Amino acid sequence: MCGIVGIVGKSNINQALYDALTVLQHRGQDAAGMVTSKNGRLFLRKDNGLVRDVFRTRHMKELIGNVGIGHVRYPTAGSSSSAEAQPFYVNSPYGITLAHNGNLTNVEQLAKEIYESDLRHMNTNSDSEVMLNVFAHELSRRGKLQPTKEDVFAAVSRVHERCRGGYAVVSMITGYGVLGFRDPHGIRPIVFGQRHTEEGVEYMIASESVALDVLGFKLIRDLAPGEAVYITEDGQLHTRQCAKDPVLNPCIFEQVYLARPDSIIDGVSVYKARLRMGEKLADKILNERPDHDIDVVIPIPDTSRTSALELANRLGVKYREGFVKNRYIGRTFIMPGQAARKKSVRQKLNAIDLEFRGKNVMLVDDSIVRGTTCKQIIQMAREAGAKNVYFCSAAPAVRYPNVYGIDMPSVHELIAHNRTTEEVAALIGADWLVYQDLQDLVDSVGGGKIQIEKFDCAVFDGKYVTGDIDDKYLQHIEKVRSDLALTAQQVANNATIDLHNSSAG
Ligand SMILES: O=P(O)(O)OC[C@H]1O[C@H](OP(=O)(O)OP(=O)(O)O)[C@H](O)[C@@H]1O
Ligand SMILES: NC(=O)CC[C@H](N)C(=O)O
Ligand SMILES: [Mg+2]
């Protein structure tokens, strides 16, 4: 779950790209990048770090042009080396740059094809560089000096035929336009919108509608699964369905945790979905223990706040902010490596003792994944003097890996894998643990929206919507992407000298 943005504007768009990336920062904290284009030249800056650290005034001054794309990264493939920050660039044909949110599941086969049949070179282990080369090769095969929209859409169709997995993509074809496209299952989110300026209409493509809102763009709509939008540099907007059998199976974890609550994804308000999650969870609690003795409901900031609020309302119990969050520490779950994640929970959250002393507290989180957060939080609640510590999760137990762009590659890192609710409760030290039921989560998000046929709920039920994920693949990603494997790689990365195309540091 990285953040992507593309803009076709009427004046320099570097500041707009920067602002959009800061709004999408919650989708990736490891690296940031943007590329702009003017008079056939590209200006690229990318590096590890937050948006505010990667782009200093001296870089911004050089990022000129009315068109460009940007990215914030949370790695799910390759390494966290700055060489794998995005956008990626290939010089042929035309000069193409690309930024990607998601994860390709047939990346090794594609990398082989690219080398052996397409005669292309790649310089990193990033799946996004692979995807760029597939797209570039397919566009190049059209053999045009000047690509038309038909050529561009035909190349996207070929990408859909060759690439497997989840992907939302922005790409810039130097001198021609900016393209956005979504995988045939619509797993990862992508929207586009427009704003009117004195110079004319400007367009933006982004991961989440909140980026459009904040920059004064009006949401036109989500891209449909398999669909592409192509905006030429002179401001002509074209859309086309490029997949054979598209079906909408959006990732439900976007609604649980990944997206900002003020975004609307596939017509669903994330905020409202989270309120409904709180309502359903309250009903389950009342069902399990009609005569419960909960004195106070306390959210674990930030993401669980919305559902905790509605849960407390429904239970008729006080809602209290018992934990204060350090606003300068980022999101824990998307940090690379368990040591950093563990350390960050204590740095990030501190208890207000008087909300806990002598009380039966119900702590609410949006999800329990590795258990890093809840274990420490429950201990803090006890140290603050709670009588009983109950815990509930607005999402069901996370028991299976994600292969479509969330870095949960290893079942052994998931606290609920092969464990019952009671076993997890004992492990995290809760006196009572309640998980949302999957059907209730689906109903909370679906909320009567019939156009969503089926969500990707694989982390909860182990059913992968693309239908091509087998045990062999899952064992493979566990081997290459688990925390243990990444720690070993880290040593290797530090010793690597990178060849990459960022402008001067
Ligand atoms: O069980 P775990 O492996 O700890 O993962 C789950 C936790 O991580 C996330 O919080 P995070 O700190 O990333 O972000 P937030 O501030 O948006 O809640 C999520 O909201 C849970 O609190
Ligand atoms: N989280 C993502 O969307 C990651 C994009 C891409 N797979 C990478 O690792 O850079
Ligand atoms: Mg959290």
Write the pLDDT tens digit of every residue in 441-475: 999 999 766 678 799 999 999 999 999 999 999 99
Model pLDDT, residue 488: 65
Give the residue numbers annotated as catalytic, written as ranges: 2
Q: Is the CB of 232 under 6 A from ligand 1?
A: no
Contact residues for 442 (Cβ-Cβ < 8 A; gap 6+): 252, 455, 457
How far, in Å, from the CA of 88 to the mean position of ligand 3? 31
For residue 267, CA distances in Å to 15, 171, 219, 451 come to 28, 24, 11, 9
- Measured distance CA(468)–CA(299) in Å, rounded: 38
How far, in Å, from the CA of 1 to the mean position of ligand 1? 14
Q: Whose CA is nearest to atom 9 of ligand 1?
A: 333
Q: Is the CB of 393 under 6 A from ligand 1?
A: no
Model pLDDT, residue 363: 98
Which of 4, 48, 103, 131, when mutated, tests ligand 2's pocket best, judged by the most ligand atoms within 8 Å of its CB? 103
- Measured distance CA(185)–CA(206) in Å, rounded: 18
Binding residues for Mg(2+): 303, 365-366
CB count within 10 Å of CB 423 equals 13
Nearest ligand, CA of residue 334?
1
For residue 284, CA distances in Å to 323, 440, 461 come to 25, 9, 19
121-127: Cβ within 8 A, 24+ apart: 123/83, 123/499, 123/500, 124/78, 124/81, 124/83, 124/84, 124/500, 125/77, 125/78, 125/79, 125/84, 126/77, 126/78, 126/84, 126/86, 126/88, 127/76, 127/77, 127/78, 127/100, 127/103, 127/165
- Of 129, 120, 56, which Cα lies nearest the Cα of 87? 129
Model pLDDT, residue 267: 95
- Of 400, 298, 421, which Cα lies nearest the Cα of 357? 298
- Of 13, 68, 44, which Cα lies nearest the Cα of 179? 68
Model pLDDT, residue 504: 41
- Measured distance CA(362)–CA(74) in Å, rounded: 31
Q: Is the CB of 176 under 6 A from ligand 1?
A: no
Q: Whose CA is nearest to atom 8 of ligand 2?
A: 75
How far, in Å, from the CA of 253 to the mean position of ligand 3? 13
CA diameter of the chain: 75
- Measured distance CA(223)–CA(206) in Å, rounded: 10
| Predicted confidence pLDDT, tens digits, the chain (505 residues) | 799 999 999 999 999 999 999 999 999 999 999 999 999 999 999 999 999 999 999 999 999 999 999 999 999 888 888 889 999 999 999 999 999 999 999 999 999 999 999 999 999 999 999 999 999 999 999 999 999 999 999 999 999 999 999 999 999 999 999 999 999 999 999 999 999 999 999 999 999 999 999 999 999 999 999 999 999 999 999 999 999 999 999 999 999 999 999 999 999 999 999 999 999 999 999 999 999 999 999 999 999 999 999 999 999 999 999 999 999 988 988 888 888 888 888 889 999 999 999 999 999 999 999 999 999 999 999 999 999 999 999 999 999 999 999 988 889 999 999 999 999 999 999 999 999 999 999 999 997 666 787 999 999 999 999 999 999 999 998 888 887 777 766 645 555 555 554 444 4
How far, in Å, from the CA of 36 to the mean position of ligand 1? 34
Residue 116: is it exposed, middle or buried by C-beta count within 10 angstroms (0-12/13-18/19+)? exposed
CA neighbours closer than 13 Å in the CB half-sphere of residue 370: 22
Model pLDDT, residue 493: 54
Q: Whose CA is nearest to atom 14 of ligand 1?
A: 331
Q: Is the CB of 376 under 6 A from ligand 1?
A: no
Q: Which residues surround ligand 3, an ion (CB under 5 A)?
A: 303
How far, in Å, from the CA of 332 to the mean position of ligand 1? 6
Chain length of the chain: 505
8 Å CB contact between 191 and 221: yes
Contact residues for 85 (Cβ-Cβ < 8 A; gap 6+): 31, 32, 33, 46, 47, 48, 71, 73, 500, 502
Q: Is the CB of 29 under 6 A from ligand 1?
A: no
Q: What's the pTM?
A: 0.95
How far, in Å, from the CA of 303 to the mean position of ligand 3? 5
Question: Ligand 2 site: residues with CB under 6 angstroms?
Answer: 1-2, 73-78, 84, 100-103, 126-128, 405
Q: Which atom of ligand 1 is nearest to the CA of 371?
A: 1
How far, in Å, from the CA of 145 to the mean position of ligand 2? 32
Which of 24, 107, 128, 132, when mutated, tests ligand 2's pocket best, judged by the most ligand atoms within 8 Å of its CB? 128
Model pLDDT, residue 436: 98
Q: Which atom of ligand 2 is nearest to the CA of 28?
A: 1
| Interface ipTM above 0.95 | yes
8 Å CB contact between 455 and 464: no
- Phi, psi (5° rounding) for residue 398? -85, 110
- Phi, psi (5° rounding) for residue 319? -105, 125
Nearest ligand, CA of residue 77?
2
**Structure tokens, 500:** 């990459």
Model pLDDT, residue 342: 83
- Phi, psi (5° rounding) for residue 214? -65, -30
Q: Which atom of ligand 1 is nearest to the CA of 257?
A: 20
Model pLDDT, residue 388: 98
**Strand 268-269 and strand 264-265: pairing?**
antiparallel
Q: Which atom of ligand 2 is nearest to the CA of 74?
A: 1
8 Å CB contact between 349 and 324: yes
Which of 29, 74, 80, 500, when mutated, tests ligand 2's pocket best, judged by the most ligand atoms within 8 Å of its CB? 74
Q: Which atom of ligand 2 is nearest to the CA of 84?
A: 10
Q: Is the CB of 483 under 6 A from ligand 1?
A: no
